[in-house]
Structure 1
Amino acid sequence: MAASNVLAATLKSLHRPGKPIIFTNVYDVLSARAVAALPSCKALATASYAVARANGTEDDDMDAQTNLRAVLPIAKVAAEFNKPFTVDIQDAYGEKLEEDVNKDTQKFYSQQEAVERIRRTLKVAESLGVKDFVVNARCDVLVHGGQLSEVLTRGKAYLAAGATSVFVWGGSQRGVSRDEVATMVKEFDGRLNVSMKLSPDGLNASQLSEIGVSRISIGPAIQFIAMDTYAKEAEKILTSV
């Protein structure tokens, strides 16, 4: 196996239904180093929302150059710890990368177009010696008010095109229900990525594992906690005299 494909193959092998890879998404060198040093950390992943905030912009306004410039130092941390690394490419930047909603127009690509975009991504990766490149194909049907039936149809097509998993996001308000997760796990043979809420009313990692997902992420949740703690500690110092 080519050296450039070893970590990709490792990452792909960590997507196991019922024993999922869990990402506590990082956003800069400090957060990456803190997580990568943990023996329990199997791989690193960014959250584009958190990366954008750490670089003085918002997710919807962050361009590809800003994202890639920000994640290169994180990639060096991943290489230092010899751990796989996956990057959240927010909204796929229109024609440059692969996703099912056009960031600029907010219109869905047809299923056929979305499938071809996934195939092109994998073809480019293979040409660079990374035949096991992991594509976590995002499907935004639910957050745009669509039906689960379309999610299932699209998701199956994305997986057939070579995606390792399907990330179905319901948005911060709607979310995705337990029944919907269970249905998608069944229809996708477990190849589902769920964004886990760090709250008592959300499904925890153990519950999601029992349902059978293969990938769990948390987005910018820890960044929110970290910055809240940072502010509180600063306030203690600033008001101490």
Structure 2
Amino acid sequence: MSNKVDVFRALHLGRVHGDPLVLPGPWDAASARVFAEAGFPALATPSAGVAASLGYEDGSTPADEMFAAVARITRAVDVPVSADIEGGYGLAPKELVERLLEAGAVGCNLEDSVGGVLKDPREQAEFLAEFRAAAGDRLFLNARVDVFVHGDKDPERAIERAALYVAAGADCIYPILAPADVLPLLRAGIQGPVNINARLDGKGPSPAELGELGATRITFGPGLQRWAALALRGMAEQLRK
């Protein structure tokens, strides 16, 4: 596992503008195999996509079911897999680390809001520091910053929170739903890799364009799962004709 973590961490380093790390989000073992066979060097599960595959609303998946789903995905592929574990399910940092390692994940996302409200950033930084102390270098920590989805959308506020999380040991910062026009400012103000989510409807910048603007890593949230569901719906409609 340590080798996979080293590989995953190395994929984030030394990337040039316009060449971000693109991480598709598998929601089950079958989709993970598709992405791995397509040549992607690593994957990152989306909590909302996994929830949909298990029959839950986003944010409602029990911890045991989420970790079991992540384990099925990691067993299905040889590439590193990072897991979106939402806010941590109320588990202590040490237990989160143990559950992730048992599931075969090389890292995780952790949100900094709960119930649509931003957490106190210093308390969240303490939580992340405890996670880092428990994980050591065995897991890659992607710290989400929810200012643009649950806050005042001020880039400076996002940068302030990011600085606390980096100091606490975060390997990457994820300012979810940050608009493209603030990415250069975020890139200039955030130390280390920056994760940006890309749209799949053609209405936003491409992954390469997001890379030019400052993104180190690109994820898609539940977009790929929802795209696949739409494709399947079209096939189902054809079967009824």
> Given the two structures, how large is their TM-score scaled by the length of structure 1?
0.85
- Structure number with bigger Rg: 1
CA deviation after TM superposition for structure 1 residue 95, in Å: 4.7
Contact 1:24–1:222 under 8 Å retained in 2: yes
Equivalent position amino acid for 1:215 in 2: R
- Matched with 1:173 is none
- What pairs up with 1:10-89 in 2 under 5 angstroms? 10-16=7-13, 17=15, 18=17, 19-39=19-39, 41-78=40-77, 81=78, 83-89=79-85
Aligned partners of 1:164, 1:63: CA distance in 2, in Å?
A: 26
- Measure how far apart 1:189 and its partner are: 4.0
Alpha-carbon distance in structure 2 between the residues aligned to 1:228 and 1:214: 29
- Deviation string 1:204-239 (CA, Å, 9 cap, x unpaired) is 111111123211001111212211111211221221
Q: Given the superposition, is the C-alpha separation of residues 145 and 112 from structure 1 closer, same or farther in structure 2, using an over 3 Å criterion? A: closer
**What is the root-mean-square deviation in Å for CA atoms of aligned residues?**
1.8
Shift of 1:136: 0.6
Structure 1 residues 213 and 189, CA gap change in structure 2 (3 angstroms):
farther
Deviation at 1:92, TM superposition (A): 2.5
Aligned residue for 1:101? 113
Q: Is the 8 A contact 1:59 1:90 kept in 2?
A: no
Aligned AA (1:160)? A
Paired residue type of 1:11: F
Structure 1 residue 132, shift from structure 2 partner: 4.8
Task: Please tell me whether residue 139 in structure 1 is matched to residue 138 in structure 2.
Answer: no
State the percentage of identical aligned residues: 28
Task: Report the alpha carbon displacement of residue 11 of structure 1 after superposing the two structures with TM.
Answer: 0.8
- Runs of 5+ in structure 1 lacking a partner? 171-175
Q: Which runs of 4+ in 1 moved over 6 A?
A: none
Q: State whether residues 25 and 220 of structure 1, in contact with CA within 8 Å, keep that contact through their aligned partners in structure 2.
A: yes
Question: Residue 168 of structure 2 aligns with which residue?
Answer: 161
Task: For residue 25 of structure 1, report the CA deviation from its aligned partner.
Answer: 0.6
Q: Normalization by structure 2: what TM-score?
A: 0.85
Checking the alignment, whether the CA contact within 8 Å between 2:117 and 2:150 is kept in structure 1 is no
Q: Following the alignment from structure 2 to structure 1, what is the Cα–Cα distance between the partners of residues 92 and 58?
A: 17
